[in-house]
C-alpha cells in the first residue's frame, strides 16, 4: 500500500510523462520524472538516456544525478562493458542488474570498480523502453536507471512493480521525445548548412545551439559575457514583442554587433514558433557579416525595381533585412497595421504573395 507521500510523487511522474514536450528541454523533462521517482523507490541517484545498442550508438543522456564526468567516462570507456548490452537480447523491460549477470564476477570488473563504485552505485534497477525504428536508428532504447548505494537494500519486488506500472507512460513520453528530437535534428542540419552565423536561445534566454558558421565567425572564441548580455537583451525585446502584441511595444534594445578582428557581424533576432526546436518557442539570432549586408540593394534600387513609393521601399528594405512586422514598425515609427497596409500594396505591385519572394525579383538576385 502506497503512502500519501508516495502517491504524491507518483502523480508528479505521471504528470511529467503525460506532457513531455511542455518542458523547456529534454533535461527538464528527465529531471521532473527522475527526482520524484528516486524518492518513490528509495534510491540515491539515477539517469535517463537514449541509445541504439544494436548500432553501438553511444548513449545520449537526457539527465543524470552525478558528476559531469559521468557522460564522458561512460561513453568513452565503459559503455561496451555495461550490463545493459547483456540485458537487451533477453527482452528485459524492468529488472535489476543482479538478476541478469553474475554479480560476484561483475564486482571484479573495471566498470564496477572504476565507474560505479566511485559514485556509490551498487544496486541498479532499469526500465528499458523499446522505441520505434526511425531514420538511421535500428530501434532505439530509452533507458531509465535507478541506483542504490552499498549500504541500502536491493530494490524490492514492490519497488520494481512501481517501475513496471510506469513502463507504458515512460515509453510513450520517450517516443514523443525521440520524434521531437528527430525534427529538431533536421532543423539544426539546415542551420548547419547556412553561411550565416546562427545562435538559438530558449525562452529563458539560455543558449541551446550555435552553427559552424558562427563558430567560424567567432574564430573559435567564446562569446564574452558582455556580448551575451547584449544578445539576450535584443532577444528579450523580440520575445516581449511576441508576447505582448501590443501597440506600446517595449523600448528598443541597444543594437549588438559581434566583432572578430576586422570582421563585423550585426545581430538580427526573431522568434522560432512552437513545434520547431520544441513545443515551446525559441529565439533565433542571425549574425550576417557586414560586408554581405552592404552588398544588399539600397532603397533607391528597390524603389526603381518595383515602382514603389518611398515608404513602400522602406518596408521592403527592412523585409530583406529579415525584420518582423513589429520590428519594421518600430524602425519606421509607424504602427504594425500601417506596415501590413504597405506590404499589401507591395504584393499587388509585384505580383507575389510572400515576403520571402521579394528578393528573387530584384535584379542580379
Which residues are within 8 A (CB) of 48 and not within 5 positions of it... i.e. 6 or more apart? Answer: 30, 33, 34, 61, 62, 63, 64, 142, 143, 144, 145
Q: Place 155 in a pLDDT band, splitting at 50, 70 and 90.
A: very high
Structure confidence by residue, pLDDT tens digits, 20-46: 877 877 888 899 999 999 999 888 899
Alpha-carbon torsion angle 4, 5, 10, 11, nearest 10: 70
Q: Place 193 in a pLDDT band, splitting at 50, 70 and 90.
A: confident
Cβ 155 vs Cβ 86: under 8 Å: no
pLDDT at 13 exceeding the cut of 70: yes
> Higher-confidence residue: 259 or 142?
142
Structure confidence by residue, pLDDT tens digits, 307-352: 888 888 888 888 776 677 877 887 788 888 898 899 889 888 888 7
Q: Which three cell numbers stand for residue 91?
A: 527482452
Structure confidence by residue, pLDDT tens digits, 73-130: 888 888 888 888 888 888 889 999 988 888 889 999 999 999 999 999 999 999 998 8
Of the candidates 133, 110, 111, 134, which has an alpha carbon nearest to the alpha carbon of residue 124?
111
Strand, coil or helix: what is 56?
coil
Q: Place 365 in a pLDDT band, splitting at 50, 70 and 90.
A: very low
- Structural domains present in the chain: 4-182 (3.30.450.80), 194-291 (3.30.450.20), 299-361 (1.10.10.10)
Phi, psi values for residue 210, rounded to 5°: -135, 145
Location of C-alpha cell 500500500: 1
How does the average pLDDT of the chain come out, rounded? 83
Structure confidence by residue, pLDDT tens digits, 111-123: 999 999 999 999 9
Poorest-confidence range of 112-116, 126-130, 153-157, 212-216?
212-216
Q: Which three cell numbers stand for residue 280?
A: 515551446
Amino acid at each position: 500500500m502506497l503512502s500519501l507521500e508516495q502517491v504524491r510523487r507518483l502523480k508528479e511522474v505521471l504528470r511529467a510523462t503525460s506532457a513531455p514536450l511542455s518542458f523547456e528541454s529534454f533535461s527538464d523533462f528527465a529531471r521532473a520524472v527522475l527526482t520524484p521517482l528516486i524518492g518513490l523507490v528509495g534510491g540515491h541517484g539515477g539517469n535517463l538516456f537514449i541509445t541504439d545498442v544494436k548500432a553501438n550508438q553511444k548513449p545520449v543522456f537526457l539527465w543524470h544525478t552525478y558528476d559531469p564526468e559521468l557522460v564522458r567516462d561512460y561513453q568513452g570507456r565503459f559503455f561496451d562493458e555495461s550490463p545493459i548490452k547483456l540485458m537487451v537480447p533477453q527482452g528485459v523491460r524492468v529488472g535489476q542488474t543482479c538478476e541478469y549477470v553474475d554479480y560476484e564476477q561483475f564486482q571484479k570488473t573495471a566498470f564496477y570498480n572504476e565507474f560505479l563504485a566511485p559514485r556509490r552505485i551498487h544496486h541498479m534497477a532499469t526500465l528499458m523502453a523499446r522505441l520505434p525504428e526511425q531514420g538511421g536508428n535500428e530501434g532505439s532504447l530509452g533507458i531509465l536507471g535507478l541506483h542504490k548505494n552499498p549500504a541500502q537494500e536491493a530494490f524490492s519486488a514492490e519497488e520494481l512493480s512501481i517501475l513496471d506500472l510506469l513502463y507504458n507512460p515512460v515509453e510513450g513520453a520517450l517516443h514523443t521525445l525521440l520524434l521531437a528530437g528527430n525534427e529538431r535534428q533536421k532543423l539544426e542540419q539546415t542551420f548547419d548548412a547556412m553561411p550565416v552565423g546562427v545562435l538559438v536561445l530558449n525562452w529563458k534566454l539560455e543558449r541551446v545551439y550555435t552553427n559552424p558558421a558562427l563558430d567560424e565567425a567567432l574564430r573559435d572564441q567564446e562569446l564574452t559575457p558582455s556580448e551575451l548580455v547584449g544578445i539576450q537583451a535584443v532577444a528579450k525585446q523580440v520575445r516581449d514583442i511576441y508576447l505582448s502584441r501590443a501597440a506600446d511595444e517595449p523600448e528598443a534594445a541597444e543594437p549588438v554587433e559581434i566583432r572578430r578582428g576586422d570582421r563585423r557581424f550585426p545581430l538580427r533576432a526573431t522568434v522560432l514558433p512552437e513545434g520547431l526546436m520544441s513545443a515551446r518557442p525559441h529565439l533565433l539570432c542571425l549574425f550576417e557579416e557586414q560586408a554581405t549586408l552592404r552588398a544588399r540593394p539600397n532603397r533607391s534600387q528597390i524603389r526603381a525595381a518595383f515602382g514603389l513609393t518611398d515608404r513602400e521601399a522602406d518596408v521592403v528594405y527592412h523585409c530583406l533585412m529579415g525584420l518582423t512586422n513589429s520590428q519594421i514598425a518600430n524602425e519606421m515609427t509607424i504602427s504594425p497595421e500601417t506596415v501590413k497596409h504597405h506590404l499589401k500594396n507591395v504584393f499587388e505591385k509585384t505580383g507575389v504573395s510572400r515576403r520571402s519572394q521579394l528578393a528573387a525579383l530584384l535584379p542580379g538576385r
